Chain A
C-alpha cells in the first residue's frame, strides 16, 4: 500500500492541521492563536470533502435529468461541511469578543502577560 502520491489532498490537510496546531502552541499572541484555530478548522473540512470526491463525477445537482448514483459525487460530506463553516465563524466571533474584553481588563494581548497580571491580582 503506497498511496501518498495519489492522496495528496489528505496529505496536505494533515500538514495544515499540524501547522495550525503548532501555531496554537507556539504563539503568545491571542489573535494569532485564533488564526491557527481557523486553519485547523479548514484542514478538517478539506479532509472531509476530499473523502467525498470521486474522480470523473459531477457536483450533486441534477443535470440533464439523469437519476443515477454513479453519476454524482457523495453529497454527505458537503452537507456536513456546509454547516460546519458557518458554525466556525460564530466560534471565531465569540472568541474575538472574549479577546476584546480581556484587552479592556488587562491592556495586552500577550498570553504570558495576562497570566502574570492575573496571578498578581489573585495573590493580593
Chain B
C-alpha cells in the first residue's frame, strides 16, 4: 500500500513535469514481471497438461463436440450425388462444354489446372521448390550440421550398401525401377489425353528413382544425378513454365493476337502449351521427391 502511494505520487509528479524520477521504471518493471509470472503459472498449457486426466478429458470432449456439431451440419447438407445440387453450376458447365475448343485437352482436369488456372499451378510448383529449399537448409551437411557419430554411421551404411548381397531388393530394383520410371514418363506425356499429368507422373518417377537409390546406394545415383543437376532442372523447369505461361499476359490474358495451334484433340501433339507445362511440372515434382529422400538419408543430393 505504501509503495503504491509512493508510485502514484511519483507518476503524478512526472506528469506535471516537476521532476524526473529515476527509479520509477524499477517499480513498473517489477510489478509487471510479477503479475506475468503468476498469470503464466495459473493458465498456461503446461499446468493443464500437468493434470493429465483433465487434459485428456478436455481434448476428447472438444473433439467429440466438434464431430457432433459438424455431423448435424452434414445432416442439413444437400443430398450426396444429386444432379440438382448447387455445386453443379454454370462454372462447371463452361469448363465441360467449351473446354475442348478453348484448351484442346481431352482430360478436362488437365485443361482446367494448366490453362484456365495455370497461374495457380505455378504458385504450387513454387511451394514445392520452397519446401525442398527449406529441407536443404535444415538437413544439408555443413560446418554447423556435422557430427562425428553421424559420419561414422554414414560410412557403415555405405559399406553395408556395397558389400551386403540383399538379392530381393537388388534384382527387384533392377527389374522394377526402369518400368516404374517408364510408366511415370508415359503418365506425364499423356497428361492431356488420359488421367494423370505432371503431378501424378512426377511422383511416380520420383518413387522409381527412390527405389533405385535404395537398392544400389546413393554413390551410384550420383553418377548421373548431382546437386548441380538438381538445381538446374528445378530452376530451369520453373523458368520455362513462367516463360510459357507469360503468353496470356502479353496478349492481355485473352489469347488474342498470338494464337497457339491447338491441334486435333486426341493427338499427342495438341492442346497448345499443356504438354510442355506438364513436362515442366513433372520434372520439378520428380526432383523434389528424390531430393527429399536423398537429404533425409545422407544429408546430400
When A and B assemble into the complex, do they touch directly, with CB atoms less than 8 Å apart?
yes
Instruction: Give Cα A85 to B147, complex, Å.
Output: 35
24 sample A-B contacts, Cβ–Cβ < 8 Å, listed by A number: A3-B78, A4-B71, A7-B77, A9-B80, A10-B80, A14-B74, A18-B64, A21-B66, A26-B56, A54-B85, A56-B81, A60-B108, A67-B97, A67-B100, A68-B96, A68-B97, A74-B92, A76-B91, A79-B113, A82-B197, A83-B121, A86-B124, A93-B132, A94-B135
Interface contact B199-A69, CB-CB below 8 Å: no
Residues of A within 8 A of B134 (CB): 94, 97
Instruction: Give Cα A94 to B88, complex, Å.
Output: 37
Instruction: Give Cα A25 to B65, complex, Å.
Output: 14
Write the B268-301 contact mask toward A (1 if CB under 8 angstroms, else 0). Answer: 0000000000000000010011001001100000
- Is B82 located at the chain interface by the 8 A CB criterion? yes
Interface contact A61-B107, CB-CB below 8 Å: yes
Instruction: Give Cα A107 to B59, complex, Å.
Output: 27
Interface contact B67-A18, CB-CB below 8 Å: yes
Q: Name the contact of B265 in the complex, choosing from A11, A62, A90 (C-beta under 8 A).
A: A62
Interface contact B87-A51, CB-CB below 8 Å: yes
Say whether, besides A7-B74, A14-B70, A22-B63, A76 and B131 are in contact (CB < 8 Å).
no
Interface contact A61-B135, CB-CB below 8 Å: no
Say whether, besides A3-B76, A55-B81, A91 and B131 are in contact (CB < 8 Å).
yes
Name the CB-closest residue of B to A93.
Answer: B292
Interface contact B109-A78, CB-CB below 8 Å: yes
Of the candidates A11, A50, A55, A90, the one having the most CB atoms from chain B within 10 angstroms of its own CB is A90
A residues near B, CB below 8 A?
1-4, 6-11, 14-15, 17-19, 21-22, 25-26, 50-57, 59-62, 67-70, 72, 74-76, 78-79, 82-83, 85-87, 89-91, 93-94, 96-98, 100-101, 104, 112, 115
Residues of A within 8 A of B96 (CB): 60, 67-69, 72, 75
Chain B interface residue number, banded: 35 or more
Instruction: Give Cα A86 to B92, complex, Å.
Output: 24
Please give 8 more A-B residue pairs, beta carbons under 8 A apart, in addition to A14-B67, A17-B70, A60-B109.
A1-B75, A7-B79, A17-B66, A22-B63, A54-B88, A57-B83, A75-B112, A115-B46
Instruction: Give Cα A96 to B295, complex, Å.
Output: 11
Instruction: Give Cα A83 to B82, complex, Å.
Output: 26
Interface contact A98-B138, CB-CB below 8 Å: yes
Name the CB-closest residue of A to B117.
Answer: A79
Q: Name the contact of A4 in the complex, choosing from B56, B74, B81, B265 (C-beta under 8 A).
A: B74
Interface contact A60-B80, CB-CB below 8 Å: no
Instruction: Give Cα A52 to B107, complex, Å.
Output: 16
Interface contact A69-B93, CB-CB below 8 Å: yes
Instruction: Give Cα A11 to B79, complex, Å.
Output: 12
Interface contact A97-B139, CB-CB below 8 Å: yes
Shortest CB-to-CB span from A18 to chain B, Å, is: 4
Instruction: Give Cα A101 to B139, complex, Å.
Output: 8
Residues of B within 8 A of A62 (CB): 100, 106-108, 265
Instruction: Give Cα A13 to B171, complex, Å.
Output: 41
Interface contact B63-A21, CB-CB below 8 Å: yes
Say whether, besides A3-B78, A8-B80, A97-B296, A75 and B87 are in contact (CB < 8 Å).
no
Q: Name the contact of B131 in the complex, choosing from A3, A70, A94 (C-beta under 8 A).
A: A94
Write the B147-165 contact mask toward A (1 if CB under 8 angstroms, else 0). Answer: 1000000000000000000
Of the candidates B127, B197, B265, the one having the most CB atoms from chain A within 10 angstroms of its own CB is B127
Instruction: Give Cα A59 to B107, complex, Å.
Output: 9
Residues of A within 8 A of B87 (CB): 51-52, 74
- Is B194 located at the chain interface by the 8 A CB criterion? yes
Within 96-110 of B, Cβ neighbours of A (below 8 Å) are at 96-97, 100, 106-109
- Is B24 located at the chain interface by the 8 A CB criterion? no
Residues of A within 8 A of B70 (CB): 14, 17-18
